[in-house]
Amino acid sequence: MRSFQLLSIISALVLLPSGLLAQQFKSSVQSGEHDGFTRLVLRLPTTNNWSIENAGRTVRIDVGNPDVIFDTSVVFDKIDRTRLLEVTQVSGRGQLELELACSCEITSFEQDQRYLVVDINDPETDTRNPLSMTFPTYGFNYRFPWAQPNQPETDFELPASEPEALPPSPSELHVPLQAKLQSLSLPFNPEDREKDGSVSVAEQRLLQQIGHASDQGLIDLKPDLDQDELASQVQDSADPTNIRVETVVDRDFNEFLTEARSEIPTQQACSEGNLIDLHNWGGSESFTDQIAKHRQHLFAEFDVLDLRQTEDLVDVYLYFGFGAEARQLMMLLPNTTEGYREKLSLAAILDDTRNLHEAFTGQQNCDGDASLWAVMESGTLDRSANKNAIQRSFSALPMHLRVQLGPRLSSIFVAANDSEGSKAILRMVDRSGAEHIPRRHLAEADLAQVEGHGEKQVQHLEAAVVENDEHSPEAIVRIVRTSIEERRALAPQIPDLVGAYAFEHRDTELGGELRQAEILALGLTGDFTRAFEYLSDLRQKDGRAAANAIHSSLLQLLTEQSDDLTFLGLVLKDTRDIGSHVELKTSVLVAQRLLDLGFPGQARDMLERLDTGERRREDVALLLAQSALELNLPHRAMIDLLGVQSKDADLLRAQAMLINGDVAQAASLQAASGDPQAARSYWHARQEPEDNAVADQTPFGGVLEVTSRLREDSGPLENLPPLAQAQALIDSSVLTRATLDDLFESLDATSR
């Protein structure tokens, strides 16, 4: 009885489908980046019968077990997509499909009979000597009559117009013809043949022309030819001679034509309309009804995937704007499905995510839907774009897609300085009647910025922040940056709001921009101490490049708006970084305020960290000279002013000359520059100015005029009688006393 029961159980198990008995095997795919190759490692099932099929840039790995499930979730955690674009499992098969990003070489080996190792190697570079290239025969067959029957004839190979064909080096261009011919492995000695008369005049001329062609870069002579290898080639070929005739005119024209063609934008074939007519992929039923209908028939009998229903479900997802769902569902389809790349690109466009396929590249001037998707894919509007076709295709989209894509497309038109096109797109969006349009205020802000309406731009950005949706962080960042550029005041609560967004999006791509915006917002509200503390934290978290990107703007705010104590406290401990990476105008601004506050040494140290070319700029040279004068370094100041010709430079040179004691030369420079101190310098030099206007136009002019009167001679007294001489001396003394009184009054006037 028991035997009968056991036999029944075994029979029932045998009749069960094999899929119910087989245990699924899960294989985790690991990855690693190495120098020159990317490595994938996957675990093999017990049935170790694997194979790799390589077809162009698609590689299919078959492990010989249809029940294997590959876990590819961590493949791109450690590698980028420079060699490998995508890793997908072929539905219903134990096959893994790799989509390569290059014409890479695939090598593989088995490790411990448990793991399959697949290496994706960089393409091998062509290491051939460009001077020894093989080119096709052009039907020109000439043979020298003295070729020996058992000796191979030499091919003179001429380079075609290919980029890798290099012209002869300068040293080769000056090698004598005879030396070049002797270096060739010819089946004869040209000198011997010429002596015995076997070389005809025509042949000699041909050899000379070959030398001239080599000098002009038209042919490359090959000195190292293997005679045995060449002989075998001659025996296998009925036409061993390989000569292409090209003149200098042909060569130069071909080069010009190649350059001209390279400047012409490549035109890709436009995608077929039925593959991208997204507006026709949905019906009048609701989203839930259409999705449910297709999902119900997604799998046929025996759980076999219905590819037609899968494609229809992908189309419905795309029609309703669900790119991620469509992309996930397409993993079940083979990549040979019609429109596969186009639909992946559409999914990326709808979600505004990175697109690795770029199926619409070069199609902006197409007269159909491809032009619209090409613009949305690239994010820029080419000058050759078919704008009428773009607007026509956009207007054909269903209302919900116009709302989803319209503001983005409007911003693209604005970036191309096409305000009218942007407004036309927004009008189409408005006709949808939707209460909430994502990115609408951002698009309006872009338009207002291009049209020069600053207040309107800020109003739209503030409205975008108030909406509190996924675009609000971007709007708050733009508000801060606009306020920095236009020096607008920010509300005190803005830094805390930006900080909250920065914390919420700390691990996203927008997190870095939000952290920078928070620091700038603190600077705009005058909280410079906290701003510089956050700047130090940003340098440690996001790197020096992120901190340097906003350091200049923060320093400008500090220099323009902070009080003296705050400015000195933050700048003096940060001078080592100032000048090495901040903008030049910021360095000049900070140095000028340091000089005004009496810190010439720190200002000079900062300016000397600038590049040599920047230090030779007039504004920098003037500040360097001014700091040198305040440090009592007149010679250094004169060196700083070398090559600088301006009125301000002459005034600084005059100050340096006064410190050195060259008062007369300093007075001349001051007078030429219209400096009011020129009269004082002339007085100290005990000279009178050549131009009397110098004394008349300056407060010290009175002193100079009185001094000149004191030098005047009252005339000879020897011829006067004694009493007259005495009277003249008394009069001169009275006049001198009066003049000295005038001098002292003039000095008092200049000191007030």
Give every CB contact of residue 403 below 8 A, 6+ residues apart in sequence.
429, 432, 434, 437, 438
Asked if the model's pLDDT at residue 270 lies above 80, the reply is yes
Query: What's the mean pLDDT when you consider all of the chain?
Result: 75
Phi, psi of 307 (to 5 degrees): -65, -35
Q: Which residue has the tokens 């245990």?
A: 23
* pLDDT value for 659: 84
H helix count then E strand count, the chain: 36, 9
88 three-class SS: strand
Confidence label for 482 from pLDDT (cuts 50, 70 and 90)? very high
Higher pLDDT, 9 or 594: 594
* The CA-based dihedral angle spanning residues 731, 735, 737, 738, taken in that order and rounded to the nearest 10 degrees: 140
* H or E stretch covering 722: helix 722-751
pLDDT-wise least confident of 219-223, 239-243, 394-398, 596-600: 239-243
CA pair distance 347, 327, nearest whole angstrom: 6
pLDDT-wise least confident of 130-139, 288-297, 573-582: 130-139
* pLDDT value for 132: 37
Q: Which residue has the tokens 């009559």?
A: 145
Instruction: Give tens-digit pLDDT for 689-698.
Output: 665 544 445 5
CA pair distance 643, 733, nearest whole angstrom: 53
Confidence label for 116 from pLDDT (cuts 50, 70 and 90)? confident
* pLDDT value for 349: 92
Higher pLDDT, 100 or 737: 100
* DSSP state string for 579-634: TTTS-HHHHHHHHHHHHHTT-HHHHHHHHTTS-HHHHTSHHHHHHHHHHHHHTT-H
Higher pLDDT, 295 or 139: 295
**Which residues pair with residue 95 across a beta bridge?**
62
Mean pLDDT for the stretch of residues 371-382: 91
User: pTM to 2 decimals?
Assistant: 0.56
Beta strand pairing status for 105-111 and 51-55?
Answer: unpaired
Beta strand pairing status for 105-111 and 68-71?
Answer: unpaired
Higher pLDDT, 591 or 696: 591
| Amino acid code (one letter) for 554 | L
Highest mean pLDDT among 9-13, 41-45, 269-273, 409-413: 409-413
Confidence label for 281 from pLDDT (cuts 50, 70 and 90)? confident
* pLDDT value for 627: 92
Mean pLDDT for the stretch of residues 565-583: 79
Confidence label for 235 from pLDDT (cuts 50, 70 and 90)? very low
Residue 742 burial by Cβ neighbours in a 10 Å radius (0-12, 13-18, 19+): middle
* N- to C-terminal Cα separation, the chain: 134
Higher pLDDT, 441 or 3: 441
Mean pLDDT for the stretch of residues 475-490: 91
398 three-class SS: coil
Mean pLDDT for the stretch of residues 4-20: 43
Instruction: Give tens-digit pLDDT for 35-80.
Output: 888 998 888 887 667 888 887 788 888 887 777 888 888 888 888 8
Mean pLDDT for the stretch of residues 636-642: 90
Confidence label for 219 from pLDDT (cuts 50, 70 and 90)? low
CA pair distance 695, 701, nearest whole angstrom: 4
Confidence label for 718 from pLDDT (cuts 50, 70 and 90)? low
Mean pLDDT for the stretch of residues 274-293: 84
CA pair distance 2, 116, nearest whole angstrom: 46
* pLDDT value for 220: 61
Instruction: Give tens-digit pLDDT for 640-666.
Output: 988 888 888 888 888 888 888 777 777
Query: The tokens of 272 are what?
Result: 């077929």
- Cβ pair 364, 386 in contact under 8 A: yes
pLDDT-wise least confident of 188-192, 327-331, 452-456, 667-671: 188-192
Residue 680 burial by Cβ neighbours in a 10 Å radius (0-12, 13-18, 19+): buried
Instruction: Give tens-digit pLDDT for 499-548.
Output: 999 999 998 888 999 999 999 999 999 999 999 999 989 988 888 888 88
Confidence label for 254 from pLDDT (cuts 50, 70 and 90)? low
Mean pLDDT for the stretch of residues 102-112: 84
Asked if the model's pLDDT at residue 187 lies above 50, the reply is no
Confidence label for 2 from pLDDT (cuts 50, 70 and 90)? very low
Asked if the model's pLDDT at residue 437 lies above 90, the reply is no
Angstrom CA distances, 673 to 345, 668, 669, 678, 694, stand at 68, 9, 6, 9, 11
Start-end of H helices in 297-398: 307-319, 323-330, 340-351, 369-378, 387-395
Asked if the model's pLDDT at residue 260 lies above 80, the reply is no
Mean pLDDT for the stretch of residues 99-126: 81
| Amino acid code (one letter) for 691 | D
Q: Provide Rg for the chain, Cα atoms.
A: 43
* pLDDT value for 125: 53
CA pair distance 328, 323, nearest whole angstrom: 9
* pLDDT value for 170: 42
